């Protein structure tokens, strides 16, 4: 048995399930210096927060003995975002273990007017999880206990610092799955997922976290603990306060616990990976899949040829089918009856082939192959980092304009980028557009922004579909939200965090209209 | 010599991405409701056979699987990858529990003779029982030369030149045909079956044989005493200083 296990590991390392390597990858790129955010954005001024003193450090040391990190080399990883596009200069990282400790820390910081940035797995893509100046980092790393799992209702209650992948493994033992899944699952924390209302690969089937989160506990800037840790599906007793924290990006409170409704793990999963010759065909296939696969359709993703090239050339992944198609589609079905689903999928695929919508493709029902095919899609973000600097965009667009943006950006930035790629969740009208260059270039940036956001606004899309606004996109909020909506957001911020200590310079724009 | 006929063994095993569970009574591992797929080394074997056919070295590829009805799914995969026809040696589930490489070798040896195969390729081992015996025993039963742990196969005149993976390096050997090959991990990277080939595979012939058709007695040769989980890895300990580390190592008699 032991040898067999080792062999399985060997096999998987060799040509499949490249287990998520974000962490090690992260360390290797830190050797290159990422410019300080305060230098890259010289017009941005630090707000009037207090500066950290030795006395503050000794207070923290009393509150959470042995869990106060100082020293620049230890802090590097906490100060720099995963995309290596933002770097703060925080002097201290606090690692509380309990809600009470978070409460005591925030109460003290609020009284002292010390700014803080809550941080989970630090896999955010909009600079929201790292300090801009010297904000104190409060990491949820040590708040990683699973509190309970009700196998009948599928309700999981856990602390905010639990890693998504670990939660997936845990609930799988009881035949359940997490309602969300994303490429960063090996490092991202559930608290961060909630705070950013992360979307991911299962949204098409299980909806957004606003639906699958049943309750949560959060600590306000004042240190007050807000207990909304309900496990009920139906609870119409007044305003649904927990929803405020989902997608608040740590600006209204620090999420400490959550209860999440986990769906049943499907018995049968099929994944098809298809090549087609135009984006119109991708949409045709999507329309047909909704009709022909119906209730078993659980994901519909697309990649363009340039995205496939990232997987092939930067990650050395072999592409399951011919790598010369302009567009690729990944369709997943999940259901309870393998034979039924497979028959349905095969009939659908045969029809797509006969009509010429699909030129070539493959389909798998074996877990190892399914994982491999998914890895081609999921590891694109990692592969892009090999190019140098990545300009990352995550927009929602009506499907009729969906790929037009990629073509427009590609044309506009020609000669100023290594590549411009489009991939993402067609099923959710969510496009990931990424451009890369060997290093950050202001010329390229000026070609991309605000052009790209203007284009999205003109076609009635959203400038942030699932990544959030964070630091990098906050001033484009008016492209997608009305002035009255932003004013209400600002009022909520004033009520819940009057001193503005929670994750400053994020989400809300520099100037409120 | 005219183009060759290749026989390939394809074992159905628990998919390697699935977590293995030992049955509570320790008689084996849980297989009910667990996803299975083709033994990855056998996938490599099929791929090699199909490549031989694509290079016009082989004229026909025959896939064989021994086991219960569901082995036909494994064989369909082999057919979709490019095998021409398949033979399912049907073993009832009770006999299958105690089926050993010796039995499978006898099936393969008999089929190799019946089908007039020139090459038999099997994976070097199956990832479930890790036996690494089937290829070798088939060679013995047929009295054919064998080239195990193959990482490269070439045909030169009437012989095969095979590079083998051995401890600390590679060994190049020549074998005369007919011969047995066992496929190692680096022999090739198996393809994904394409949709047109998956559809075509449904129409390819699949013959069914029983142990008695092949004159093989599948009576159990051994008894499973107990199947156990590997020991759980114990948690590590953090030490504050080098001195403490040295003390701990000394205390536990490691230095």
Average pLDDT over residues B187-206: 96
B181 token code pair: 């090959």
Q: Which of A303-317, A480-494, B19-33 has the lowest mean pLDDT?
A: B19-33
Closest Cβ–Cβ partner in B36, B128, B195 for A363: B195
Q: Are residues A251 and A271 both part of a single domain?
A: no
ipTM above 0.85, yes or no: yes
Q: How far is CA A432 from CA A380, B19, B177, in A?
A: 10, 33, 55
Q: Are residues A249 and A329 in the same domain?
A: no
Q: What is the pLDDT of residue A74?
A: 87
Tell me which DSSP letter residue A296 carries. G
Tokens at residue A455, please? 């284009």
Q: Is A346 left (phi over 0), alpha (psi -120 to 50) or beta?
A: alpha
pLDDT, residue A444, reads 96
Pick from B36, B189, B227: which is nearest to A1 by CB?
A: B227
At residue A425, the 3 state secondary structure works out as strand
Interface contact flag, A366 B20, Cβ < 8 Å: no
With bands split at pLDDT 50, 70 and 90, how would you rate the model's confidence at A423? very high
Domain span including residue A121? 24-139
Beta bridge partner(s), residue A226? A218
Question: Quick one: which of A402, A411, A273 has its CA closest to A330?
Answer: A273
pLDDT of amino acid B2: 67
Judgement on whether residues A150 and A256 belong to the same structural domain of the protein: yes
Cβ-based neighbour number of residue B240 at 10 Å: 7
Interface of B with A (CB under 8 A): 15-18, 20, 22, 33, 35-37, 40, 125, 127-130, 185, 189, 192-196, 198-199, 227-230
User: What pLDDT is recorded for position B223?
Assistant: 87
Q: Is A349 on the interface with B (CB under 8 A)?
A: yes
Half-sphere exposure of A387 (CA within 13 A, CB side): 26
Q: Do A368 and B17 lie within an 8 Å CB cutoff? A: yes
Q: What is the pLDDT of residue B236?
A: 85
B9 half-sphere exposure, CB direction, 13 A CA radius: 34
What is the number of alpha carbons within 13 Å of residue A219 lying toward its C-beta?
29
> A343 and A321 share a domain?
yes
Interface probe for B, chosen from A362, A364, A374, A376 (most Cβ of B below 10 Å), is: A362
Contact A14 B185 (CB under 8 A): yes
Q: Which of A26, A88, A93, A31 is nearest to A66 (CA)?
A: A93
Residue A451 located in a structural domain: no
Per residue in A55-82, pLDDT (tens digit) is 999 999 999 999 999 988 889 999 999 9
Give, in order, the Cα–Cα distances in Å from A189 to each of A62, A120, B153.
26, 5, 48
Comparing C-alpha atoms, which of A394, A452, A404 is closest to residue A428? Answer: A394
- The answer to whether residues A189 and A246 belong to one domain is yes
Q: What is the pLDDT of residue B240?
A: 81
With bands split at pLDDT 50, 70 and 90, how would you rate the model's confidence at B221? confident
DSSP for A112-150 reads HT--EEEESS---SSS-SS-SSSPEEEE-TT---EEEEE
**A490 found inside a domain:** no
All residues of chain B having their beta carbon less than 8 Å from the beta carbon of residue A7 are 125, 127, 130
| Alpha-carbon distances of A39 from A34, A86, A449, B15, rounded to whole Å | 11, 10, 19, 52
Closest Cα in chain A, distance from residue B20 (Å): 9
pLDDT number for residue A26: 46
Give the C-alpha distances (Å, rounded to integers) separating A30 from A77, A209, A499.
8, 32, 33
Please tell me the distance from the alpha carbon of residue B224 to that of residue B243, in angstroms, as a whole number: 48
Inter-chain contact A367–B129, Cβ cutoff 8 Å?
no
Shared-domain flag, residues A245 and A345: no
User: Which residue ranges form the domains of chain B, and what is each CATH number?
Assistant: 4-252 (3.40.50.620)
**End residue of a domain, out of A261, A277, A300:** A261
**Chain A, 313-342: which have a CB under 8 Å from a chain B CB?**
318, 320-321
Calculate mean pLDDT across residues A315-320. 96
Q: Is the pLDDT confidence value at B211 over 50?
A: yes
- What percent of chain B has pLDDT above 90? 84
A144 in Cβ contact with A130 (< 8 Å): no
Chains A, B: CB pairs < 8 Å: 80
Do A51 and A135 reside in the same domain of the chain?
yes
- Same domain? A134 vs A168: no
Do the chains contact at A16 and B17, CB–CB below 8 Å? yes
pLDDT, mean of residues B179-204: 96
CATH assignment at residue A371: 3.30.70.2190
DSSP-based helix, strand, coil % in chain A, nearest 5: 40, 20, 40
- Rounded to whole angstroms, the Cα distance separating A413 from A435 reads 9
Q: A366 and B37: CB-CB below 8 Å?
A: yes
Q: Region B192-211: what's the mean pLDDT?
A: 96
- Shared domain for A282 and A358, answered yes or no, is yes
Name the token pair of A424: 């993402």
Q: Report the side by side order of strands in the sheet with B85-90.
A: B169-176, B159-166, B146-156, B179-183, B119-123, B4-9, B58-67, B85-90, B206-209
**CATH code where residue A80 lies:** 3.30.43.10
Asked if residue A400 is part of any domain, the answer here is no
Q: Pick from A139, A168, A201: which residue ends a domain?
A: A139
Per-residue pLDDT tens over the stretch A328-344: 999 999 999 988 999 99
> What is the tally of structural domains in chain A?
3
**Residues A55, A19 within the same domain:** no
Of A226, A244, A261, which one is at a domain's C-terminal end? A261
Tell me how far apart the alpha carbons of residues A447 and A431 are, in angstroms, rounded to a whole number.
Answer: 19
Q: Rounded mean pLDDT of B19-28?
A: 92
| Same domain assignment for residues A324 and A307 | yes
Question: A238 with A334, same domain?
Answer: no
Q: Residue A479 domain-assigned?
A: no
State if pTM tops 0.90: no
- Cα distance between residue B226 and residue B24, in whole Å: 11
Question: pLDDT-based confidence at B158, cuts 50/70/90?
Answer: confident
Is B15 close to A366, i.e. CB distance below 8 A? yes
At residue A30 the predicted structure's pLDDT band, cuts being 50, 70 and 90, is very low
Residue at A460 is within a domain? no
Smallest CA–CA separation between B186 and chain A, in Å? Answer: 9
Distances (CA, A) of A283 to A286, A327, A405, B26: 5, 11, 15, 51
Domain assignment present for A251: yes
Query: Residue A15's pLDDT is what?
Result: 38
The mean per-residue pLDDT over the stretch A2-12 comes to: 44
The pLDDT value recorded for residue A31 is 47
Contact A11 B127 (CB under 8 A): yes
Comparing CA positions, the residue from A133, A100, A103 lying closest to residue A115 is: A133
Of A165, A190, A163, A160, the residue nearest A177 (C-alpha): A165
- CB contact (8 A) between residue A361 and residue B194: yes
Q: Which of B16, B31, B36 to mutate to test the interface with A (most CBs of A within 10 A)?
A: B16
Q: Which whole-number Å values give the CA distances from A273 to A332, A365, B84, B194, in the listed order?
A: 9, 12, 24, 10
- pLDDT tens string A431-463: 999 999 999 999 999 999 999 999 999 999 999
Do B160 and B99 form a contact (C-beta atoms < 8 A)?
no
pLDDT of residue A32: 58
Q: What is the pLDDT of residues A213-231, one digit of tens each?
A: 999 999 999 999 999 999 9
């Amino acid at each position: 048995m032991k040898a067999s296990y080792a062999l399985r590991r060997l096999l998987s390392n060799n040509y499949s399930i490249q287990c998520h390597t974000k962490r090690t990858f992260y360390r290797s790129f830190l050797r290159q210096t990422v410019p300080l955010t305060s230098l890259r954005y010289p017009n941005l001024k630090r707000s009037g927060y207090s500066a950290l003193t030795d006395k503050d450090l000794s207070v923290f040391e009393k509150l959470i003995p042995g869990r106060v990190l100082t020293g620049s080399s230890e802090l590097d990883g906490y100060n720099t975002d995963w995309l290596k596009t933002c770097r703060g200069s925080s002097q201290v990282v606090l690692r509380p273990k309990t809600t009470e400790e978070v409460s005591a820390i925030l109460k003290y910081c609020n009284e002292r007017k010390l700014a803080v940035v809550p941080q989970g797995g630090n896999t955010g893509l909009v600079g929201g999880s790292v300090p801009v100046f010297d904000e104190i980092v409060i990491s949820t790393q040590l708040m990683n206990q699973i509190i309970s799992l009700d196998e009948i209702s599928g309700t999981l209650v856990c602390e905010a610092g639990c890693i998504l992948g670990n939660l997936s493994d845990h609930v799988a033992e009881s035949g359940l799955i997490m309602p969300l899944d994303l490429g960063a699952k090996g490092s991202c924390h559930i608290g961060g997922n909630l705070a950013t209302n992360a979307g991911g690969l299962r949204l098409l089937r299980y909806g957004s976290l606003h639906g699958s989160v049943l309750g949560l506990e959060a600590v306000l800037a004042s240190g007050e603990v807000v207990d909304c840790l309900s496990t009920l599906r139906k609870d119409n007793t007044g305003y649904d306060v927990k929803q405020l924290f989902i997608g608040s990006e740590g600006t209204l409170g620090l999420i400490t616990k959550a209860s999440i409704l986990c769906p049943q793990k499907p018995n049968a999963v099929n994944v098809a990976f298809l090549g087609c010759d135009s984006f119109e065909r991708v949409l045709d296939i999507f329309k047909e899949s909704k009709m022909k696969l119906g209730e078993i359709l659980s994901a519909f993703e697309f990649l363009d040829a340039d995205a496939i090239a990232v997987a092939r050339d930067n990650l050395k992944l072999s592409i399951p089918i011919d790598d010369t198609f302009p567009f690729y589609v990944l369709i997943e079905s999940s259901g309870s009856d393998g034979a039924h689903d497979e028959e349905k999928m095969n009939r659908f695929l045969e029809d797509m082939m006969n009509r010429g919508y699909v030129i070539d493709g493959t389909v798998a029902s074996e877990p190892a192959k399914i994982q491999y095919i998914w890895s081609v899609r999921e590891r694109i973000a990692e592969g892009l980092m090999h190019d140098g600097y990545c300009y990352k965009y995550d927009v929602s667009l009506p499907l009729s304009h969906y790929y037009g943006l990629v073509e427009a950006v590609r044309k506009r930035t020609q000669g100023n980028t290594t590549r411009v790629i489009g991939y993402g969740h067609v099923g959710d009208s969510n496009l990931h557009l990424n451009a890369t260059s060997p290093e950050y270039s202001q010329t390229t940036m000026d070609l991309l922004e605000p052009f790209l956001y203007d284009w999205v606004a003109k076609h009635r899309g959203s400038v942030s579909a699932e990544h959030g606004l964070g630091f990098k996109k906050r001033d484009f909020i008016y492209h997608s939200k009305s002035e009255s909506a932003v004013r209400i957001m600002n009022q909520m911020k004033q009520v819940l965090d009057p001193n503005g200590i929670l994750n400053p310079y994020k989400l809300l724009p520099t100037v409120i209209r | 010599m005219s183009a060759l006929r290749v026989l390939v063994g394809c074992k159905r095993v628990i998919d390697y991405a699935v977590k293995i569970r030992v049955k509570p009574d320790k008689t084996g591992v849980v297989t009910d409701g667990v996803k299975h797929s083709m033994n990855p080394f056998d996938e490599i074997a099929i791929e090699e056979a199909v490549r031989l056919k694509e290079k016009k070295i082989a004229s026909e590829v025959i896939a064989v699987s021994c086991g219960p009805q569901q082995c036909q799914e494994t064989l369909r995969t082999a057919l979709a990858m490019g095998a021409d026809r398949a033979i399912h040696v049907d073993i009832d589930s009770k006999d299958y529990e105690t089926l050993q490489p010796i039995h499978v070798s006898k099936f393969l040896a008999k089929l190799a003779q019946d089908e007039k195969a020139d090459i038999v390729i099997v994976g070097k081992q199956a990832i479930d029982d890790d036996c690494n015996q089937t290829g070798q025993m088939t060679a013995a039963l047929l009295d054919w030369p064998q080239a195990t742990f193959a990482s490269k196969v070439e045909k030169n005149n009437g012989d095969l030149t095979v590079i083998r993976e051995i401890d600390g390096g590679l060994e190049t050997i020549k074998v005369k045909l007919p011969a047995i090959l066992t496929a190692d991990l680096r022999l090739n990277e198996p393809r994904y079956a394409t949709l047109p080939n998956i559809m075509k595979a449904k129409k390819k012939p699949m013959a069914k044989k029983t142990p008695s058709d092949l004159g093989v007695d599948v009576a159990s040769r051994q008894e499973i005493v107990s199947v156990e989980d590997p020991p759980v890895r114990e948690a590590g300990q953090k030490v504050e200083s080098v001195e403490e580390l040295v003390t701990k190592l000394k205390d536990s008699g490691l230095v």
